[in-house]
Structure 1
């Protein structure tokens, strides 16, 4: 109920009651949005849960039928994601909520959505350059910086470290990696000796982390750039018997990540609140479909998860 009251308060404040443009969607009937993540992944299941919660809230508050369809690529493949976007456009939804794998590679389909009058909102990503699109997510540089600084303190500001890069073309993964590198560069006694690319796959992250630790037996610690990476890294640390020797600071709040913190494999995780990203992406998309202007950015914040906070 508190979400309904919140929406009522927003409406009463006049935030969403500006004159509706002539080309706005008919907001009296059902509205349908399509949510397209990077890939099939438990992190995106959390995003979808938040999106469905927002749809339920908006349906109750407005009396409209608001639905969100979830269409996930089977792997983190740009062409596969673009195909899903194009097929979604062809169904003429009221909006598409997208987590782009590659801003350049996804550009043409994002522009196609705009040209077809299908509103676009991105989540887990900064808004694409030159497009009037709302971006919903955390400050990704801050998230990577927080994780890297925690690792620096854990290893006493010296030693060899590695970074699991996620999907390097993904804007949010790339930003985190760059900001982690900048943190490590400030400390003369810290050296980045390896980077892995897991493409948002826990299994791939585990295999790459195992190989990197075998190649660098003096490795002191790990950070990651996606949600799958730190889970795979943690599994590799556990399997190699290096809990406590190789430190890890993870990202996000997958159940497996939380268990790694509980078990002492990882010290902490910097979480970008996926449920909140899905929730506010739907609210922003609904506003856009109703013909209202939306913010350039909606910052959903960061949680630092530790054994103590759990």
Structure 2
């Protein structure tokens, strides 16, 4: 009940915040020349990955002379993201950059944006339906999973043992692709026994308990690949609680301040870092191209890099931000 009430209040606030500009609310079309408003809807609030994306988005929007706004759900959940999308319809911005929290459930709300004449750009995650967004910008997530498997193999240095994947939620396009890339690549290393993936519901506490339970069932556990920031932070906690820090190699995805701290402390052995600021920047570029009637690039993939403690300083540009 509390969540539903919070979403309702958030949606009501959004209507007021986004409808504040008279020329925007009165625009007859999302693509109107007088409409100089862009909105970013990340997957979740207060997460360094999306904050870094927001920084790139704001910088690019400001440089182009556009107003900008960011509205994010409290949880990575379609039920919480949908009211935000619905609320934004009332203000009719020129374009919306959105990280859909479910590759099927968000198709209906996002189609409402498109039908209202608002250009839709997918950032980080994307829908299965490719007819709604004019462009999708994200990391090559399957390649990222492959890179994680390669990195874990190097870290284990030929030792044998079981390896686990911690995924977030089924139906999240990015993390599902990372898990697939890892699963396909780990087959090349017969000393590493893949014992499957478990879902954490994007909750660090759940990730921690999953690691603890897996250690009890598989004492030969030698590696964990966490497919996103929250799962990685939770996995580190689980290993710490079990006294297995360093004995089990943890490869995380994303370079949040906490994960970088854990990397430098030897709690995490490697991070697969994305470039979220560039995703935000290129999202604006594709939105403006659509607004101006220019051709869009349908799929854009941004850079990924594997970072260990030894080369962390050289790759500090990939570390995520807490604020812009």
1:127 and 1:133 in contact (8 A); partners too: no
| Structure 2 counterparts to residues 283-294 of structure 1, below 5 A | 283-294=285-296
Unaligned runs of 5+ in 1: 1-22, 60-65
Report the counterpart of residue 101 of structure 1 in structure 2: 101
2-structure distance, mates of 1:184, 1:153: 12
Q: Deviations over 1:7-52 (max 9, x none)?
A: xxxxxxxxxxxxxxxx88344x451122112222232111111211
Report the counterpart of residue 148 of structure 1 in structure 2: 149
Secondary structure (helix, strand or coil) at the match of 2:64 reads helix
2:30 and 2:118 in contact (8 A); partners too: no
Secondary structure (helix, strand or coil) at the match of 1:167 reads coil
Report the counterpart of residue 50 of structure 1 in structure 2: 56
Report the counterpart of residue 31 of structure 1 in structure 2: 36
Bigger drift between 212-221 and 136-145 goes to 212-221
Report the counterpart of residue 181 of structure 1 in structure 2: 183
Report the counterpart of residue 230 of structure 2 in structure 1: 228
Report the counterpart of residue 212 of structure 2 in structure 1: 210
| Structure 2 counterparts to residues 1-310 of structure 1, below 5 A | 25-27=31-33, 29=34, 31-40=36-45, 41-59=47-65, 66-126=66-126, 128-131=128-131, 133-155=134-156, 156=158, 158-309=160-311, 310=313
2:127 and 2:173 in contact (8 A); partners too: no
1:126 and 1:297 in contact (8 A); partners too: no
Runs of 4+ in 1 over 4 A off after TM superposition: none
Q: Deviations over 1:70-93 (max 9, x none)?
A: 111111221221221121122211
Two-structure CA RMSD over aligned residues (Å): 2.0
Q: TM-score, normalised by structure 2?
A: 0.81
2:30 and 2:116 in contact (8 A); partners too: no
Bigger drift between 49-58 and 182-191 goes to 182-191
Secondary structure (helix, strand or coil) at the match of 1:130 reads coil
1-structure distance, mates of 2:134, 2:214: 39
1-structure distance, mates of 2:240, 2:67: 42
Q: Deviations over 1:192-240 (max 9, x none)?
A: 2253322333333223223322332221111022222112111222232
Q: Once the 2 structures are TM-superposed, how far is the Cα of residue 152 of structure 1 from its aligned partner?
A: 1.9
1:252 and 1:273 in contact (8 A); partners too: no
How many residues are treated as equivalent by the alignment? 281
2-structure distance, mates of 1:146, 1:91: 42
2:40 and 2:96 in contact (8 A); partners too: yes
- Going from structure 1 to structure 2, the CA distance change for 1:211 and 1:116 (only over 3 Å counts) comes to same
Q: TM-score, normalised by structure 1?
A: 0.84
- Going from structure 1 to structure 2, the CA distance change for 1:24 and 1:52 (only over 3 Å counts) comes to closer
